[in-house]
């Protein structure tokens, strides 16, 4: 009997405590997730003295600046990054294991944020063809993957907001489709990306919002045509801060040239497709997006209504520029300085339209970036470009030598039942996908073949280590294996390949040459620090200003946003509110 009374007392006390706890309430009227694609953490640290007082520096000093922020997974690409921020979940749950991956069911690559089920809204622009340039034979084009969040498996903060008693508005804006789509959940009020003008898809709407249509018709996109991209701060010593203007390995962009000033025509006489590509590949793409975001805020009255709203803005030009000229270039320095001005302009606009202490901002990046191999090598690093084509060909050769060639077997008379004679069904870096039908025809176990292939790959130039599907599915990674655990968090059993390749730091997978020209530019996507280390800046009421040494990830943004919106964090969120967010 005493035990029964004790249990009753405990239950009564628990229910009383629960009733006494205040329900979560919105702290602000608008939460804004700001993403600068490829903004590596060290950029806003080393170049802080060159910033104005109202941009990055305002967030760094008046908000929480988390300096030890890393992605906890390995495939540091745009799709996984944007999928993880507001789900709070790693690719092992979201299913967004890369921008693209090989889908065995359809026998082709799957795109993280699009399928052929939908169409662009408004419809795609048809390029003008000059007389005499028409193709002699019809060109068969693969259906383009058009924007949809269908492949995202985890709910986002936006989904939680929409499921609440007072569902606020949700908008996702970017130059890239995946960057607007993946953070915005399944039922946003609008998602727009850039395709010569701002577009959406029939997944979301049959026609653009009136304000978006009017923005497109204003031809604001053509404002930079013929105006060179020159240095934002011409009196600043760019060479001292970022090295020479024509470093080895830098590309020419989209007909823009290696050095400043960069042409902004795309080689055209009138604005067209190549100009729009050049625009996105310059800081002016970010400026265009900022203008579009301001129109969205004003037209939709975001943060100016009873229910709190959510807006995501992902600035993609930083990424395109970083790929072309590299992170140690004057172009990336210039773009970062201009990004600082964009942050200042956005914060001022939010002050005016929403009101101080009425909004919260979370600023981060979807990944970092590897230095140009030529730059890294010149600074004493073991750095190289290695051919992905040659790597895959070497793997196929090894498997044939070890397990033997095979005559194409048939199952009955059905020609579709033929089995490819290649051991590798696909190479969608960092994964190799084995041809399981061929292995079955030879009575080979995929795990055995993958293990043999992994051992072979470890002897190849530039390969640091290899993990197999079976080991990852079984979770055979020790706790202190940082790289291994990052790979494990990028693994999804339905979408990952048979073999995961981890390259050595500062090695890039790609062709060594393009025709007779040296390869240029750089990439990301590795589990190494230069790709995982990004900023996390949080600004809002109750947040004490200054740096934080707490180890966090951009995935904390889901819980932080939930706190400000007064709603539960998404179901799959793996990270809670940082301990030092509200007080050091």
Give the span between the Cα atoms of 305 and 354, in whole angstroms. 10
- Residue spans in the chain of domains classed CATH 3.40.720.10: 30-125+145-372+528-565
Is residue 334 a contact partner of residue 230, using CB atoms and an 8 Å limit? no
pTM for the complete prediction? 0.92
Mean pLDDT value across residues 164-179:
96
pLDDT digits (tens, 9 = 90+) for 246-283: 999 999 999 999 999 999 999 999 999 999 999 999 99
DSSP states along 273-316: HHHHHHHHTSHHHHHHHHHHHHHHHHHHTTTSSSS-EEEEEEE-
For the stretch 203-243, pLDDT in tens is 999 999 999 999 999 999 999 999 999 999 999 999 999 99
Q: Could you give the CA distance from residue 208 to residue 214 in angstroms, rounded to a whole number?
A: 9
What's the CA gap between 67 and 70, in Å, rounded?
9
Res 446 pLDDT > 70: yes
Buried b (16+ CB within 10 A) or exposed e, 567-583: bebbebbbbeebebbee
Query: Which of 85-99, 107-121, 332-346, 415-429 has the least mean pLDDT?
Result: 415-429
pLDDT over 90 at 89, yes or no: yes
Handedness of CA 449, 451, 455, 461 (dihedral sign): positive
Q: Is 17 exposed, middle or buried (0-12, 13-18, 19+ CB in 10 A)?
A: exposed
Return the pLDDT at 19: 38
CATH architecture under which domain 378-518 falls? 2-Layer Sandwich (3.30)
The predicted pLDDT at position 23 comes to: 63
Q: Are 68 and 578 in contact (CB under 8 A)?
A: no
Higher pLDDT, 20 or 147: 147
Average pLDDT over residues 568-581: 97
Summary mean pLDDT of the chain = 91
Q: Which helix H or strand E contains 401, and what residues bound it? A: helix 388-403
**Residue 575 CA from chain centroid, whole number:** 19
Whole-angstrom Cα distance, residue 347 to residue 359? 10
CA atoms within 13 A on the CB side of 266: 18
pLDDT recorded at residue 9: 43
Residue 5 is predicted with a pLDDT of 41
Q: Using one digit for the tens of pLDDT, what is the confidence trace for 476-527?
A: 999 899 999 999 999 999 999 999 999 999 999 976 544 456 688 999 999 9
Torsion of CA 463, 465, 468, 469, to 10 degrees: -90
* Helix, strand or coil, per DSSP, at residue 128: coil
Residue 357, pLDDT above cutoff 80: yes
Dist CA 519 CA 515 (whole Å): 9
How many other CB atoms are there within 10 angstroms of residue 139's CB atom?
A: 6
What is the three-class DSSP state of 65? Answer: strand
Tell me what percent of the residues of the chain surpass a pLDDT of 70: 89
pLDDT score, position 24: 79
Q: How far apart are CA 28 and CA 237, in angstroms?
A: 41
For residue 51, pLDDT beyond 60: yes
The CA distance from 250 to 245, in Å, is 9
Residues with Cβ within 8 Å of residue 109, at least 6 apart in sequence:
100, 101, 102, 103, 426, 428
Q: Is the pLDDT of residue 411 over 90?
A: no
- Report the alpha-carbon distance of residue 523 to residue 328 in Å, rounded: 13
Residues 6+ apart with CB under 8 A from 424: 392, 395, 396, 399, 432, 433, 434, 435
Single out the residue of 7, 37, 28, 5 nearest to residue 327, CA to CA. 37
Architecture of domain 30-125+145-372+528-565: 3-Layer(aba) Sandwich (3.40)
pLDDT band at 363 (very low <50, low <70, confident <90, very high): very high
State the average pLDDT over residues 411-431: 75
At residue 570, what are phi and psi to the nearest 5 degrees? -60, 150
Where b means 16+ CB within 10 Å and e means fewer, 440-477 reads: ebeebebbebbbbbbebbeebebbebbbbbebbeeeeb
Name the residue among 212, 180, 232 with its Cα closest to residue 342.
Answer: 232
d(CA 452, CA 462): 18
CATH 3.30.1360.150 domain position(s) in the chain: 378-518
Peptide bond into 351 cis (omega under 30): no
Give pLDDT tens digits for 366-392: 999 999 999 999 999 999 999 999 999
When pLDDT is averaged across residues 469-482 and rounded to a whole number, the result is 94
Higher pLDDT, 293 or 1: 293
């Amino acid at each position: 009997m005493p035990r029964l009374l004790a249990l009753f007392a405990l239950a009564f006390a628990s229910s009383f405590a629960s009733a006494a706890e205040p329900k979560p309430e919105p702290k602000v009227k608008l939460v804004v997730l700001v993403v600068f694609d490829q903004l590596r953490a060290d950029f806003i640290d080393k170049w802080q003295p060159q910033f104005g007082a109202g941009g990055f520096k305002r967030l760094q000093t008046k908000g929480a600046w988390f300096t030890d922020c890393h992605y906890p997974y390995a495939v540091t690409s745009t799709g996984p990054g944007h999928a993880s921020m507001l789900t709070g979940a790693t690719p092992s749950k979201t299913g967004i294991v890369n921008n693209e991956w090989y889908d065995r069911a359809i026998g082709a690559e799957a795109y993280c944020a699009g399928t052929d089920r939908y169409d662009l809204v408004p419809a795609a622009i048809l390029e003008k063809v000059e007389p005499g340039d028409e193709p002699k034979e019809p060109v068969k084009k693969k259906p383009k993957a058009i924007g949809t969040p269908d492949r995202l498996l985890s709910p986002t903060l936006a989904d939680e907001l929409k499921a609440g008693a007072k569902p606020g508005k949700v908008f996702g804006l970017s130059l890239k489709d995946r960057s607007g789509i993946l953070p915005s959940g399944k039922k946003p009020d609008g998602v727009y990306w850039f395709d010569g003008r701002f577009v959406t898809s029939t997944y979301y709407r049959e026609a653009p919002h009136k304000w978006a249509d009017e923005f497109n018709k204003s031809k604001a996109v053509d404002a930079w045509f013929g105006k060179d991209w020159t240095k934002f701060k011409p009196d600043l010593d760019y060479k001292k801060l970022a090295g020479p203007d024509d470093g080895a390995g830098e590309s020419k962009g989209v007909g823009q040239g290696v050095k400043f000033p960069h042409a902004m025509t795309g080689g055209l006489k009138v604005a067209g497709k190549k100009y729009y590509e050049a625009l996105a590949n310059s800081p002016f793409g970010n400026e265009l997006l900022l203008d579009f975001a301001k129109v969205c805020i004003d037209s939709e009255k975001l943060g100016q209504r009873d229910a709190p709203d959510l807006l995501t803005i992902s600035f993609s030009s930083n990424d395109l520029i970083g790929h072309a000229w590299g992170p140690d270039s004057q172009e990336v320095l210039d773009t970062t300085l201009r990004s600082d001005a964009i942050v200042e302009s956005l914060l001022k606009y939010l002050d005016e339209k929403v009101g101080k202490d009425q909004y919260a901002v979370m600023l981060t990046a979807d990944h970092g970036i590897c230095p140009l191999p030529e730059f890294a090598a010149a600074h004493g690093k073991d750095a190289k470009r290695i051919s992905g084509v040659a790597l895959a060909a070497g793997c196929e050769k090894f498997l044939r030598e070890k397990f033997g060639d095979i005559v194409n077997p048939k199952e009955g008379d059905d020609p579709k039942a033929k089995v490819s004679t290649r051991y590798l069904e696909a190479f969608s870096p960092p994964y190799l996908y084995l041809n399981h039908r061929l292995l079955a025809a030879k009575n080979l176990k995929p795990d055995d073949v993958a293990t043999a292939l992994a051992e072979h790959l470890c002897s190849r130039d530039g390969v640091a280590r290899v993990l197999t599907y079976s080991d990852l599915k079984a979770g055979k990674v020790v706790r202190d294996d940082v790289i291994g655990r990052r790979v494990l968090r990028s693994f999804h059993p339905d979408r990952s390949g048979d073999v995961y390749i981890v390259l050595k730091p500062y090695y890039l997978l790609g062709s060594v040459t393009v025709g007779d020209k040296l390869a240029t530019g750089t990439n990301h996507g590795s589990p190494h620090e230069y790709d995982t280390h990004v900023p996390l800046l949080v600004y809002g009421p109750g947040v004490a200003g200054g740096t934080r040494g707490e180890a966090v990830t951009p995935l904390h943004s889901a819980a932080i946003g939930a706190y400000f919106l007064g709603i539960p964090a998404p179901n799959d969120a793996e990270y809670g509110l940082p301990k030092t967010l509200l007080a050091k």
